[in-house]
Amino acid sequence: MTFLSDAAIIILAELIKWSSPWYIRQTMFTLIQRGWRYTVFMMTIVMFVVFPSSEEYATYRIPSFAELWGSVLPETVKLPATILEMPLIEEPSAALLSENDFARLFPTPDALKYHVALWKDIFGRYTSRQVVLYDSWYPQLVYEVIDRDSGSANVTARIKAYRSILRSLAHKEKHGGLNSLTPAERRVYKLFDTVTEKNRFSKAAERQMRGQNGQYERFLQALQASGMYQQKFTRIFQEYGVPVELTWLPFVESFYNYKAYSHAGAAGVWQFISSTARLYDLKISSAADERFDPFKSADAAARLLKANHELLHTWPLAVTAYNHGTVGMLRAARQFGSDDFGKIAMNYRSSSFGFYSRNYYAEFVAVAQLMRENQQKFKAIERLPAITFDEVCLEQRMFLRDVAAALSVSPDELGELNRDFKKNVLKSKIPIPKRFRLKVPAGKKEELLAAVGTP
């Protein structure tokens, strides 16, 4: 059984390499280096096998990893019985973990406590007109909060000034000149009370110094937008036995912007790249891209997170794998022989495991703590009304304008419900694919079934 478990993990790891944009880039670069003929051959394989784009391929369902390998995966950490037994509810806050269960499943490692604290301030305190200037490795080293509305808000100049201070401190510490610090040097020197590494000032001077805009307004806007989705997200995650707190990942991924599209090709509220989307049943074709459907992609996200947890056994690793890729986190955990994410985050070295991957879990915990600690405060924030709809599986191809006419609604109204449609469908240039799960206004399902003659 141990051999089967190890074999399953290796096979799964190879399959899900394509869930990571960094791996795709790395592979393509290697292919180019090996010669153009090999590159053309491999790109052909990728285009027609790994990344099928026709409707015929796009409708093929690939079973989830849990479905394929559930019988041979090693035993995983169990969720609290209260989650598994909890009835599906309408009020999301009622489904939250207890304080003890949250701390156990989503711990804040000592190595990341300052990261979490910083991101709580970024999301819950500082506005977009403020820039937090801090050390990229030790986020407790907040050099300054710059007000963009002030007359001297030159971030580049401030970074240059602090690098000069750090180099001066490094020189004075080395040559016994700490008794002659300027007021500015003394303030920065005090910031380093918690940093004990050797040559701390010279290293800080060479490291990246980050200027992070506050996100408070965007956080509140996202909180308002979440009202459209939260009840259904809660139900979906409960059905898979995944902690409801993970429905808050869109705060980190997209701020609930269903049109979001990243430079790495990740799309929608849940930010799926195309290869991972197809592995988790999200269809991408000339007619629709289901990554842009918040609810279909939420179902895929819940299954991906669940599969990550089955492979990696802890939620800190599973959450980070959602961003970094499962194979990368498997490699990191095996390298250290540990699932201590604090240790991994601060010590793992990889060209792909950079600032964002190292901070992703801390950002999530910061959001979750804000949401859990401020339930009463956030009740005053008016959420957008929940999106309500019925679903119909079309058994025939139809143009959107014909569906709209049959329901006596506008095509735009159907387009708002079916956010995965591409322009050709929205403009009725091509039909809605057969067996597409079409969303229609609540109460209109039977009307459409009667109009198309479906029993």
Per-block mean pLDDT, blocks of 10 residues, the chain (455 long): 50 51 48 50 44 33 32 31 34 77 96 96 95 96 92 84 97 93 96 94 95 95 95 96 97 96 94 93 94 97 96 96 93 89 90 91 97 83 93 93 94 96 96 94 92 65
* Assigned domain for 303 exists: yes
- Claim to verify: residue 100 and residue 204 sit in the same structural domain: no
Which burial class, exposed, middle or buried, applies to 300 when counting CB atoms under 10 A from its CB (0-12, 13-18, 19+)? buried
What pLDDT is stored for residue 379 in this prediction?
78
CATH number of the domain encompassing residue 362: 1.10.530.10
Residue in the structure block whose two tokens are 């965007």: 218
Specify if 1 maps to a domain.
no
Looking at the structure, do residues 26 and 137 belong to the same domain, yes or no? no
For 322, other C-beta atoms within 10 Å of its C-beta total: 24
Last-in-domain residue among 181, 213, 245? 213
Looking at the structure of the chain, the number of domains it has is: 3
Question: Are both 86 and 192 inside the same structural domain?
Answer: no
**Packing angle of the helix pair 315-324, 294-312 (nearest 10 deg):** 120
Do 333 and 369 share a domain, yes or no?
yes
> Does residue 363 share a domain with residue 404?
no
- The count of other CB atoms within 10 Å of the CB of residue 390 is 17
Q: Are residues 222 and 358 in the same domain?
A: yes
Residue 146 and residue 62 share a domain? no
Residue 31: per-residue pLDDT:
52
pLDDT value for 451: 83
pLDDT given for residue 343 in this prediction: 92
Q: What are phi and psi of 265, to 5 degrees?
A: 90, 15
Same-domain pairing of 198 and 346: no
**Domain boundary, last residue among 187, 213, 239:** 213
Tell me which residue range forms the domain holding 154.
131-213
Inter-CA distances, 299 with 117, 245, 261, Å: 30, 15, 19
